[in-house]
Each structure stands twice: as C-alpha cells, then as structure tokens.
Structure 1
Amino acid sequence: MRHTGGDFITDQTHIYREKTDRAIKKRPPWVEYNLHIIVLGLVIISMFIGVIEINITDNIKIVLLPLLYALIMGLALFLAKPIKFVGRDQAKVAEGVMVLFIGVLIAKLAISSGRSLDDIFNVGPALILQQFGDLGTLIALPVALLLGFRREVIGMTSSICREPNLGIIIDKYGFKSPEARGVLAIFVIGSIIGTAFISLLSSISISVLPIHPYAFAMASGIGSASMNAASLASISHAFPSMATEFEAFAGCSNLLSFCFGIYMCMFVSIPLAEKLYAWLSPHILKGDEDSIDDEYDIQEVKEDKYLSKEELTLGKIKRWGALLLVFSIIVTVGNVVGYHTRVIDSFIGMIIISLITIIGMSLERLIPYDIQSIIYISLIGIIIAIPGVPTSSFVMHYVSQINLATICTAFLAYVGIAIGNDWGEFKKIGWKGIIITMIVISGTYLGSATIAHLTLAVTGMI
C-alpha cells in the first residue's frame, strides 16, 4: 500500500490509533482485573522505594525515579516466562488504555499551567524565547535516518522525549506505531543515562563555550526535574556565588517547559519533524521511503471488525469511567505511599482530573473537526485553574495533592507491560538509540542556551 504526502500521514495516524483502541472495543479492559492488581502492586513497590541517587563524582550523579522502576518491573513481569499472570492478553489491554490514561497526565499538566499563568507572564523574554531551543532536538533526525531508522525518527527527535511528549506521540499515532516505539526508546534510555550525561555536558559547556552562565541556567529547565537538577548542580559548582540566581532562572524555565512544552511539541516540532522526514528520507533511506516499518499489515487492520469507532456512545463513556476509576484508585494509593497525602483529598483530585479527561475525549468525537482530545483536555484544565475563575480554588486544593510523578509511575507501569508484547522491535534500536539520545539532549540544551544568551545580550541584561 502506497501513499504520498499528507494523505499518508493522516491515514496512518488514524489506522494506528484505531489499532490501539480495538482492545477496548473487543474486550472490556477492566475484565483483566489481574492487570490492574499487578499495576497497583508495581506502583506501591516503586513509590515505597522512592528516589535513589547514585553519586558518580562530586558533580555527577544518576537519579533513579519510581516511574523507571515501574516500567522496568512491568516489562520484566511480561518477559519472565515462568510467570503466566502477565501475558499477551494483559499487554493488549495495557495498550488499549494508553490514550485514556494519557488524558489524565495532560489534565494534571494543564491545571498546573493555568495556576501559573501569572508567573509565566512575569518572566523575561529570554526565558520565553529560549523555549524555541527545544527544536534543537531535530538535529538528531538526519543522524537517525543515517543509522537506518524510518518513521521512528519522528518520535525520537521531535522532543526531549519525557513524560508529556510520550503522551502526545502515543495519543497522536497510537501505541503500536513506529513513532511511539521511537519516543519510548529514547524515554527509557534518557531515564537511565540522561541525568549523568547532561551533568557532564553542562560541566564541559560552561568551561569551553562563550555563553553566559545565566543562559546555561535557563537551558537547564528542559522539562525533566532530574536533568534540571543535574545540570544546575554543575553550573552552580562552577559559579557558587550566583547559585541563587541560577536556581530562580532554572525553576522558571522548567515551569515554562512543562507548561508550553507540550504545545510546542504538538504544533511546532512534530509538524517540522514530519516535514523533515518527508524531505530527507528519499535522499537518505534506501528502498521505499513510504513503507511502514511495522509488523502489522495495514489492510488487515482496516478490515478488523473489532476496530473502535469514533462516534460517542454511552457504553464507551461507561468504559472510560470504569477504567479511570481504577486508575484513580491506583494513583491515590501510590500518592499516599510516596507522599503521605490524605486519601480522600488525593482521590477527589483524581476524580476531577478524570472528569476533565472524559469531557475532552467526548468533545473530540462530538465536534466535527480533526482536533485531538488532549487539546480539549488542556484547554479545560487551564481555564478552570486560572486564578480568579470560580472553580480555581476548589480544583487547585484537591489536584495539588496529586504528585505528577505518581501519575507517571502508574502510567509507565502499564507501558512496561505493553512494551513486552513488542520487545523484539525495541531491541532492534539498541546502541543506536544511545547515540540519538545524547544528540537529542545536547541539541535542546545547547540550542536553548544559545537563544537565551543572544536574548540576554540584545535586552542588555548581560
């Protein structure tokens, strides 16, 4: 099957999203109660272990987060052959709930954005403009093509590949897509080597590049708390008298990355990655550049009678509600274990987030335009959390009890089990993924630092 241009991209996107959704249509996911019990156990264990810091040197350390434990343990349970409690059926169900649970993650980020609008408007132009340095990840795209990747490069190089970007790619293309496989690979590799690598990169850059330390501090806020801290430690060590200013710049920058990063990814970097792929692949890739590097036959997927239809039905809303209730319980328990919050407050916060998710998913199907549900979810979350809006105080009181890391930990426990179903494809990425990860991190860090430095110079701040 051959397509060209935008038709190919649009057709493929819908096909993969339908492929992901069909598990919900074919078999109600909550029937696989053992899957949810396993995820609950993984979340409890991961949150109980907490954050582990491994010091390599005085300035370089590796930070291991609960979300990484949950992902690895979920994958290990699937791959452990003697254990039959987690198999292909559970992995398929885990795939089927991805798009829904991504909505919870996006809703939490959107509410945080709405609450922080005043702070965002008060920061300087350098902090805002340096966000465009995130496009530096795209320099890894031609390298990835030269290494033999195909459409995986869109997921690999359109962002820094952290939790929000993971959600955007899976929502847009579907969990089974090459794009999702790419972003997941860089996410896992970045989680393992990212903090150590950016710490080393910061130490070297601050010594050899003619860029102001303020600019490096701003560049540290790339949307990852652990990488932000690692980079900031290196800069502060080099200029200890300026540590307070660095922390302020890095904190605001990281806030902006969380708030604006998902929209930069959706509206700028992914479309650019698509265009770069379409332009470069005929010159770099051998063979049919429009072929899809995936084990599924597109025609077979189109004819699958279990495909989830796009219309909104009462049954679909009930399924969403049941799944989100289960997910809310899992996150609430994890939040209590990891952060000792009150059970009732955490649960109410998750119910608010879940309702926003259901409304956003419903609007995607009711409004006759090709707009992703995560955009509706984002808009609703931002609006109801803006200071001064009647709902703001109530929403923020409860949603602030939910730590974003807990949602990510629960979400990635499902991802780990789902990855097991396609582990053979992920193994093919191998050492090449490490190279792409280092280029992606370097591109966004150095790109942001360069833009911040130029803006600071133009505005007379340095």
Structure 2
Amino acid sequence: MHEVQKYGKHMHEQKFKEQRMRAINRFKLHRYRRRADVIIKRRPPWRENLLNIVVLILVIISMSIGVIEIKITDTISFLLLPLIYALVLGLALFLAKPFKYIDVEQAKVAEGAMVILIGVLICKLAISSGQSIGVILKVGPALILQLLGDLGTLIALPVALLLGFRREVIGMASSICREPNLAIIIDKYGFKSPEARGVLAIFVIGSIIGTPFISFLSSMCVSIIPFHPYAFAMASGIGSASMNAAALVPLVHMNPGMATQLEAFAGCSNILSFCLGIYMCLFISLPLAEKLYKWLSPVLGDGSASIADSEYDESEDVEDDSVDGLSFGKLKRWSTLLLAFSIIVAVGSVVGYHVSFVDAFIAMIIISVITIIGMSLERIFPFHVPSIIFISLIGLIVAIPGVPTADFVTHYVSQVELTTICTAFLAYVGISIGKDWEAFKKIGWRGIIVALIVICGTYLGSATIANITLFLTGMI
C-alpha cells in the first residue's frame, strides 16, 4: 500500500512538472503576449482612465488635422497622416518631463495594450479579406511569390559592412527583424552573440521609427513608381501589424475606390509573411546572409562600429494566470481595454469622417468580440497556434459573401476606416516607445541607416515581384 501511495505521489509530481514545462515552453513562444498579460493584470484597464483619456485627446487632435499632402513636384508628393501625428504626439508627451500624467508606468501599460490591440488591426483587414475572397483567389500566385521580396533585406548587408559592423550584420540584414526573426536569431546564436545584438538593434529601431518611415515610403513609392496598387498592398504585408497598416493607409487614401480590395491583399499578405516568413528566414535568408558575410567581410569594412549589449530581459518568472490558459480575469481585462479602445475609435470616426457614433461603435464591438474569441482560442487550444491566425480566420469567414453574418458584419465594419483604428493604435505606440528612447539613441546613426535600408529592401522587393507576377498572370 505504501509503495502504491509513493508511486501515485511520484506520478502526480511528474504530471505537475510536465504541465509546468509545457507552460514555460508556451511562455517562451509567446513572450510578448505573456508580458502584455502581466502588465495589464498589474495595472488593469479600469485603473488607467487617464491614459485612455490622453489617447482620446490625441486621436481627436490628429483626426481634426486630417491628411496633409506635401508636393515635391507636380507628380511626386507624400502624405502626412493622422496616425503619424498621434505617434509623434504620444512620444512627445512621454519625453516632456514636466508632463506628469504619462510616465514609465503608463508607457508599460500602453505596451501591453499594443499587443492586444494588434488583434483589432488584423481583424479589420481579415474582414476585408472575406469580402474580397474571390479576387484574392485569382491573384493567389502573386501573394505567394511576393514573399520572396523579403530577401530584399539582404541589400543592407554590404552597406552595414561598409559602415563598420561585423557579424552583427547577419542579424541586421537577414530579415525585417520582428518578433519571430528575433526568436530565430537568439535561439541559433545565443542571446549575447553579435548576431543577436544586430537583430535587436533593428528591432528597436523598427519599433520606434519603422511605422512612420514605411508610411512615408509608401506614399512616395505610389507617386514615383508605376506599379499597380495591388502590388503595393501586397508589399505592405511584411509581418508587422503596425507597419502593415501604416504602409496601407496612404495607399487607400490615394485609391479610395479600391479600399476593400487593398485591405484584403495587405491583410492576407501579412498573415502569409507571419506564417511563412519564419521559414523564409530560417532556411533561405539566414543561410544567404551567412554566405554573403563570409564572402564580403574580408573585402568590406573594418569592424569599427559596435552595438552595445542589449538590455533584453528573459528573466521574468512564471506566475499564476498570466502564463497560460484562460481565466475570467483575463476576459474582464481584455473586454475593458477593448471597450475603451472602441469608444476612442468611434469618436475619432465621428471627428475624421462624420459617421454615426453608434454605427462606428457597433463596428468596433464586432471587431472586439472576434479579437477576444481569437485570443481565447490561442490560450485553450492544445497546440501552438497564434491568436492572429484565429482572428484572421474568424474575421475572414464571417465576411465571406453568402455566409449568414456577412451582410451585418460588412455593413457595420465598413463604417470604420483603417486610418482611424491606426491613429488610435499608434497613439498608444507613441507613448509606449518613449521608454525605449535611450536605447534607441545608443544604437547610433549607422544602425538607423541599416534599418531604413532593410525596410526599403523588403517593401520594394515584394512590390516588384508582386507587380511582375500580376502582369504575367494577366491580372493587370
């Protein structure tokens, strides 16, 4: 009997250890999602009314200013968009030390909110994808092949060598350097490696200036390069929700009659980049970066540049309901945050586009419900499936013509422009990135140049391949 009890106790302990290891492994796969859960648990949304009021004011100011077109020549111009004003004003508020209402704590809460609100951006694009499912199926080859444009980041490698970087260039130029790519580099080379310092440098720069830069780049390219708008929309999907939306907004503004189709292509492209981009990096671009470094490093550069060790922290301990699973507390916190965000976007829609507050609010509630369902499924699904996949699939399915929900969903969601959602989202982003400002300044001008070339390379590479494929398949 004693042996049976001892065996039962051992099995119970073993089962507990296995469950904990599964939780820890899921934590490693979802570091940013988990950090958002922790932050929002420590400072629940209902305690951050002041932050939400500040964001609301930023959105009202930004949407009131509207779009400003700056002409360089008669045919070349770029757009200043409300989302840029919101991001800059949010950052300025954090950096304005006398302004006591926005400090490091609010910046952390804004960071946590960003991770959740990305789902809202994805859902809006997914619903547009459902509306345009027939067109998407016709241009399928272009959507797939344009992923090869991600290899355009490699043009930054010789430039980085000329600027004095050494093995950091492998991390800097092998991808667009968002979360999945960061995980690949750290896992392959180690956290303290020069490759990891390189990818983290581009990650920080991209987080701070990537969104406004790609918005500027998109508006300039549409004016200068005679590609079809569909090609630029596909190129917007680089695996970052905020950059995806920022690149798309000026394109939609210049081609309002194609708004739904452009949003559909951009949304599908971004999901493909997220799902397949990690394999592109692992099996193609990273090995190519290694070979290019081996061939070019003896010839180019003297290794005089350096990147300071990162303060990236993996030491957060695993605790309670923030690690894994679903709880009533999480649902309550998500719902409160998304309710506040829905009100902000609805007000912004009234100010910027003079639509009905009620219609815009209903649209945001539909999007928020889909977002919550997607995040919940991620936490209860037994296999590793990111929430953006669930959100994208649900948003796409409920909007497909002929599905019973399609008319209702598309009628209301069409009342909210992507510009307004992006403006509200980037107000939180601006406040959040303020706490990374010192790290950004340490990287230096050489790292900034490399980051901008990386973004240009992947955007222009994807747009070129997409346009050629669309032409060859007779779609344009």
Q: Give me the TM-score of the superposition, normalised by structure 2.
A: 0.74
Relative to structure 1, the CA distance from residue 91 to residue 255 in structure 2 (aligned partners, 3 Å threshold; closer, same or farther) is closer
Q: Which residue of 2 aligns with 1:453?
A: 468
Give 1:190 shift. Answer: 1.7
The residue type paired with residue 336 of structure 1 is V
Map 1:235-384 → 2, pairs under 5 A? 254-255=262-263, 257-275=265-283, 276-277=285-286, 280=289, 294-299=310-315, 301-302=316-317, 308-384=322-398
Give 1:293 shift. Answer: 5.0
Indicate conservation of the 8 Å contact 1:130/1:219, yes or no: no
Deviation sequence 1:39-65 (CA, Å, 0-9, x none): 000000000100011111112212111
- Given candidates 96, 99, 104, the residue that maps to 2:120 is 104
Q: Which residue of 2 aligns with 1:31?
A: 47
Give 1:254 shift. Answer: 3.8
Relative to structure 1, the CA distance from residue 419 to residue 392 in structure 2 (aligned partners, 3 Å threshold; closer, same or farther) is same
| 1:184 lines up with 2:207 in the alignment | yes
Question: After the TM superposition, which of the residue ranges 393-402 and 442-451 deviates more from structure 2?
Answer: 442-451
Structure 1 CA distance, aligned partners of 2:183 and 2:427?
Answer: 17
Relative to structure 1, the CA distance from residue 248 to residue 131 in structure 2 (aligned partners, 3 Å threshold; closer, same or farther) is farther
Indicate conservation of the 8 Å contact 1:50/1:65, yes or no: yes
Give 1:180 shift. Answer: 4.8
Deviation sequence 1:113-157 (CA, Å, 0-9, x none): 0011122234585x5465335424432463586464999987987
Q: Which residue of 1 aligns with 2:37?
A: 21
Relative to structure 1, the CA distance from residue 9 to residue 28 in structure 2 (aligned partners, 3 Å threshold; closer, same or farther) is closer
Question: After the TM superposition, which of the residue ranges 28-37 and 64-73 deviates more from structure 2?
Answer: 28-37
| 1:68 lines up with 2:84 in the alignment | yes
Q: Which residue of 1 aligns with 2:416?
A: 402
Secondary structure of 2:78's partner? strand
Relative to structure 1, the CA distance from residue 217 to residue 414 in structure 2 (aligned partners, 3 Å threshold; closer, same or farther) is closer
Structure 1 CA distance, aligned partners of 2:91 and 2:444?
Answer: 16
Deviation sequence 1:20-76 (CA, Å, 0-9, x none): 432112221330211111000000000010001111111221211100100000000
- Equivalences, count: 414
Give 1:358 shift. Answer: 0.8
The residue type paired with residue 266 of structure 1 is F
Relative to structure 1, the CA distance from residue 274 to residue 335 in structure 2 (aligned partners, 3 Å threshold; closer, same or farther) is farther
Indicate conservation of the 8 Å contact 1:43/1:334, yes or no: yes
The residue type paired with residue 380 of structure 1 is I
The residue type paired with residue 49 of structure 1 is I
Structure 2 CA distance, aligned partners of 1:440 and 1:329?
Answer: 33
Relative to structure 1, the CA distance from residue 84 to residue 461 in structure 2 (aligned partners, 3 Å threshold; closer, same or farther) is closer
Relative to structure 1, the CA distance from residue 311 to residue 229 in structure 2 (aligned partners, 3 Å threshold; closer, same or farther) is closer
Q: Which residue of 1 aligns with 2:150?
A: 135
Secondary structure of 1:298's partner? coil
Indicate conservation of the 8 Å contact 1:63/1:226, yes or no: no
Relative to structure 1, the CA distance from residue 137 to residue 341 in structure 2 (aligned partners, 3 Å threshold; closer, same or farther) is farther
Relative to structure 1, the CA distance from residue 460 to residue 225 in structure 2 (aligned partners, 3 Å threshold; closer, same or farther) is closer
Q: What value does the CA root-mean-square deviation take over the aligned residues?
A: 4.1
Structure 2 CA distance, aligned partners of 1:85 and 1:345?
Answer: 32
Q: Give me the TM-score of the superposition, normalised by structure 1.
A: 0.76
Indicate conservation of the 8 Å contact 1:67/1:413, yes or no: yes
Gaps of 5+ in 2: 1-23, 186-198, 237-246
Q: Which residue of 1 aligns with 2:244?
A: none
Give 1:251 shift. Answer: 7.6
Map 1:90-239 → 2, pairs under 5 A? 90-123=106-139, 127-128=142-143, 131-140=146-155, 142=157, 146=161, 148=165, 158=175, 178=200, 180-185=203-208, 187-188=210-211, 190-191=213-214, 193-195=216-218, 197-198=220-221, 202=225, 219-221=231-233, 222-223=235-236, 224-225=247-248, 228=251
Deviation sequence 1:189-218 (CA, Å, 0-9, x none): 52464146536862xxxxxxxxxx6x6665
Deviation sequence 1:154-192 (CA, Å, 0-9, x none): 798745x9xxx89x999999xxx9475243245245246
Secondary structure of 1:111's partner? helix
Give 1:260 shift. Answer: 1.8
Structure 2 CA distance, aligned partners of 1:456 and 1:320?
Answer: 44
Secondary structure of 1:62's partner? strand
Percent of pairs with identical residues:
44
Structure 2 CA distance, aligned partners of 1:152 and 1:12?
Answer: 25
Relative to structure 1, the CA distance from residue 347 to residue 47 in structure 2 (aligned partners, 3 Å threshold; closer, same or farther) is same
Deviation sequence 1:213-266 (CA, Å, 0-9, x none): 6x6665444333466489x9xxxxxxxxxxxxxx89998984553132112211
| 1:433 lines up with 2:456 in the alignment | no
Indicate conservation of the 8 Å contact 1:53/1:62, yes or no: yes
Structure 1 CA distance, aligned partners of 2:183 and 2:335?
Answer: 18
Indicate conservation of the 8 Å contact 1:361/1:373, yes or no: yes
Gaps of 5+ in 1: 1-7, 203-212, 233-246
| 1:87 lines up with 2:103 in the alignment | yes
Secondary structure of 2:128's partner? helix
Indicate conservation of the 8 Å contact 2:204/2:440, yes or no: yes
Structure number, greater radius of gyration: 2
Structure 1 CA distance, aligned partners of 2:143 and 2:129?
Answer: 14
Secondary structure of 1:295's partner? coil
Relative to structure 1, the CA distance from residue 158 to residue 407 in structure 2 (aligned partners, 3 Å threshold; closer, same or farther) is farther
Question: After the TM superposition, which of the residue ranges 18-27 and 144-153 deviates more from structure 2?
Answer: 144-153
Indicate conservation of the 8 Å contact 1:44/1:337, yes or no: yes
Structure 2 CA distance, aligned partners of 1:186 and 1:152?
Answer: 19
Indicate conservation of the 8 Å contact 2:308/2:443, yes or no: no
Secondary structure of 1:421's partner? helix
The residue type paired with residue 40 of structure 2 is I
Secondary structure of 1:302's partner? coil
Structure 1 CA distance, aligned partners of 2:310 and 2:469?
Answer: 43
Relative to structure 1, the CA distance from residue 382 to residue 293 in structure 2 (aligned partners, 3 Å threshold; closer, same or farther) is farther
Deviation sequence 1:67-95 (CA, Å, 0-9, x none): 01000000000000111111111111111
Secondary structure of 1:63's partner? strand
